[in-house]
Amino acid sequence: MMQLQDLKGLGKARLETLQKAGIETLADLLLTLPIRYQDTSTTTPLSEIAPGKEICVSGYPKDAPRLSYFRGLSSVTLRLCDETGGLSVVWYNQPWLQTQIHKEDRLTLYGRIDRDKQGRIRMISPVIVKERGILPVYKALPGIPAKTMRDLIRQGLTQLEDCCPETLPEILRIKYHLCERNFALRQAHFPESRDHLAIALRRISFEGMLLYQAAAASVRGERSKGIQIDVPQNACSAYWASLPFPPTNAQSRVLNEIAGDLQETYAMGRMVQGDVGCGKTALAFGAMALTAQAGYQAALMAPTEILARQHLESAQKTLEPLGIRCGLLVGGMKAKERREALEKIASGEWQAVIGTHALISEGVEYHRLGLVVTDEQHRFGVRQRRLLSKKAQPGGDAPNELVLSATPIPRTLALVLYGDLDLSIVDELPPGRTPVKTRMVPEEKRDGLYDFIHKEAAQGRQTYIVCPLVEESEQIDARSAQETYVELCNGPFSDLRLGLTYGDQDPGEKAETIRRFSAGELDALVSTTVIEVGVNVPSATVMVIENADRFGLSQLHQLRGRVGRGAKESWCFLMAAPNERLKTLCETNDGFKIAQKDLELRGPGDFLGTRQHGDTLIPGMALGADVQMLEETSLCLKWIRSPGYEQEWEQLKQAAQAAFARVLDDIAMN
């Protein structure tokens, strides 16, 4: 059988590039699906184009293309015309196109229709179409042009029957109207029609989601022997009684579920999911208290040092009155401070250890670690969570694992993504929490918004201003954090104390900026979404989100959760033209309702960010999955595991373990 290295056009350098991308066999290559498609089979008349879509257009340049430069960035512009109208076209950083496009040439272009800063419709950096049809677009790999990738796939497809055998039982394919795998892969790479592509993507998405859930189910069925923690009958009630506030019914229910898990002979694997402010941290401390009171150690891993320090402060107030000693381990510690921390962890003097990734670094040894808590699940892969568990008891019983997530995910999707974990949902907010008022603000009302921020600052209240970009981009019409910061410092907010923070900022500078904002030394913080998971700043009462229509509803809800943490009335202003999608956010503060709406509007691929990045744990999800399919595959798994289908379940389980043996990061396969 032909091997990957036998393909024509694949030299040593290109072979190494493929291998670095995880493509080591012909099967790997054929299972590398397009991230999207360019449909150049039909053209849209210029009189019918609308912003926000990728389309194919055709016409003649009205004049010769013009080349110009601005701040070192080149742009080639022209006016394309057909029998129905005209369209402005611009290419950035492709100056050679000026000499390659001629006035008398008929041009067929494929690209995205957008608006410039003056609101005029244009097409940005389109592809010049030389091949008509539904063309696959693969994730870019260095040194492998798009045409070369397509040629490699075409060659590989001649060996499809040998290297990509059927994975799904025939009875299952018939029941769920799924085409054969070979047909699906051929049509996914080179579709003959839109109908064939839809059939192929349904099969591939269904298979990927089903196998993922089957892999999760097999993991759950083979749970590790865990550390069994004795929890006295009234321990949960005693914990709640020690706090200055009563628990909600949801908190009581979830802590009881955790206590039940801790007493089992297998290791607990539970995710606690709930909206911002629902009291997940109190639940985590409750689990840590139950663990420490039974003579075991507990560790909590947070995604940032600032959040870890905030958790330590809260833990000291909550746990130390119960006689539970708390300590901190983070990466920025001085040598002496780190050495002392390691000694207290190893000796068991600290019964509750809180930190960042430093908790899984070399040289850290634990003393009877019985519980591992990870905060903000989406910031940690399972490898990081399990590393902490394995460091705890090398070769021994596994510690119990509790995962906290403030990212609302509809239950069906959560069960698919985190199938190795039991799920607890805290669906109730404590009384007295003031809901954040949300409003859409069009551009013409910006001055009024700035006046409102001034009034809030005069009363000692603070504002977040979130932008979708770090730096200004000629190609994307959106406000950048740096551009906005400079504008505000030199203009409307020249009399206020402003800070700027973003993801790639120097860590020390970022930490100092956020510290100053937390301490009330800044009136406003201009930021990218780096503050999505941040600190608790009760005096922050205003959230402004620039270009709000560029964010998903769930991410907007997460950002909104940064304000409304105190008793003061809080506001979230969405800078965007009013639309139905953003209206959902203005009507409800229920994160789960918002997440469900987001999932319905965008589909799982966009909801998880996979369409933009082309990376997904579930093959095909970025292309063909929808909400209905999530539910369909969950029901299918229940059916195939029912009595009478043992042979089919075994076939599916083996296919799942083979499919995810190397690439799965968010389910432990061993």
Q: Quick check: is 323 in a domain?
A: yes
**Domain check: are 470 and 561 in the same one?**
yes
Q: How many domains does the chain have?
A: 4
Query: What's the CATH code of the domain at 324?
Result: 3.40.50.300
| Cα angle 523, 526, 529; round to 5 | 130
Mean pLDDT computed over 396-414: 76
**Domain check: are 56 and 10 in the same one?**
no
Q: Quick check: is 27 in a domain?
A: yes
**Domain check: are 11 and 69 in the same one?**
no
**Domain check: are 120 and 152 in the same one?**
no
Residue 165, number of CB atoms within 10 A of its CB: 11
DSSP state of 312: H
Q: Where among 160, 184, 205 does a domain terminate?
A: 160
Which residues have C-beta within 8 Å of that of residue 578, sequence separation ≥ 6? 440, 442
**Domain check: are 110 and 149 in the same one?**
no
Residue 329, number of CB atoms within 10 A of its CB: 25
Look at 248-252, 391-395, 562-566 and tell me which has the smallest mean pLDDT: 391-395
Which residues have C-beta within 8 Å of that of residue 6, sequence separation ≥ 6? none
Q: Where among 386, 405, 424 does a domain terminate?
A: 405
Q: Which pLDDT score is estimated for 432?
A: 66
Half-sphere exposure of residue 87: CA atoms within 13 angstroms, side-chain side: 33
* Tens digits of residue pLDDT in 81-92: 999 999 999 998
**Domain check: are 584 and 484 in the same one?**
yes
Let me know: does 547 contact 479? Beta carbons within 8 Å.
Answer: yes
**Domain check: are 467 and 555 in the same one?**
yes
**Domain check: are 449 and 389 in the same one?**
no
- Cα–Cα distance for residue pair 642/205, rounded to 1 Å: 23
The residues with which 107 forms a beta bridge, in sequence order, are 59
Q: Which residues of 183-196 are buried (b: 16+ CB within 10 A; e: fewer)?
A: ebbbbbbbbeeeeb
**Domain check: are 465 and 356 in the same one?**
no
What pTM was computed for the model?
0.64
Nearest to 478 by CA among 468, 487, 486: 468
Q: Which pLDDT score is estimated for 72?
A: 74
Q: Domain range spanning residue 154?
A: 1-37+145-160
User: Which of the two residues, 218 and 5, has the higher pLDDT score?
Assistant: 5
Q: Quick check: is 150 in a domain?
A: yes
Q: Bin 74: left if φ > 0, else alpha if -120 < ψ < 50, else beta.
A: beta
- Cα–Cα distance for residue pair 529/503, rounded to 1 Å: 8
Which residues have C-beta within 8 Å of that of residue 454, sequence separation ≥ 6? 493, 496
Q: Quick check: is 66 in a domain?
A: yes
Q: Quick check: is 172 in a domain?
A: no
- Cα–Cα distance for residue pair 439/656, rounded to 1 Å: 46
Query: What's the CATH code of the domain at 53?
Result: 2.40.50.140
**Domain check: are 33 and 91 in the same one?**
no
Mean pLDDT computed over 366-381: 75
Distance of CA 621 to the CA centre of its chain: 14
Q: Which pLDDT score is estimated for 666?
A: 43
**Domain check: are 254 and 386 in the same one?**
yes
User: Which of the two residues, 117 and 551, has the higher pLDDT score?
Assistant: 551
Mean pLDDT computed over 101-105: 89
Q: Quick check: is 108 in a domain?
A: yes
What would the DSSP string read from start to end of 458-486? Answer: HTT-EEEEE-SBSS--SSS-S-BHHHHHH
Q: Quick check: is 305 in a domain?
A: yes
Nearest to 535 by CA among 324, 307, 230, 358: 307
Q: Quick check: is 215 in a domain?
A: no
pLDDT confidence band for 180 (50 / 70 / 90):
very high
In the three-class reduction of DSSP (H, G, I as helix; E, B as strand; rest coil), residue 371 is classed as strand
* Tens digits of residue pLDDT in 586-637: 998 888 788 777 766 765 555 544 443 334 445 555 455 566 777 788 889 9
Distance of CA 106 to the CA centre of its chain: 42
pLDDT confidence band for 18 (50 / 70 / 90):
very high
* Tens digits of residue pLDDT in 208-246: 888 888 887 776 655 667 889 999 999 999 999 999 999
Distance of CA 16 to the CA centre of its chain: 29
Phi, psi of 187 (to 5 degrees): -75, -30
pLDDT of residue 200 exceeding 70? yes
Q: Which residues of 486-518 are buried (b: 16+ CB within 10 A; e: fewer)?
A: eebeeebbeebebbbbbeebeeeebbebbeebb
**Domain check: are 57 and 95 in the same one?**
yes
- Cα–Cα distance for residue pair 9/51, rounded to 1 Å: 39
Q: Which pLDDT score is estimated for 26?
A: 92
- What's at 556, amino acid-wise? L
pLDDT confidence band for 251 (50 / 70 / 90):
very high
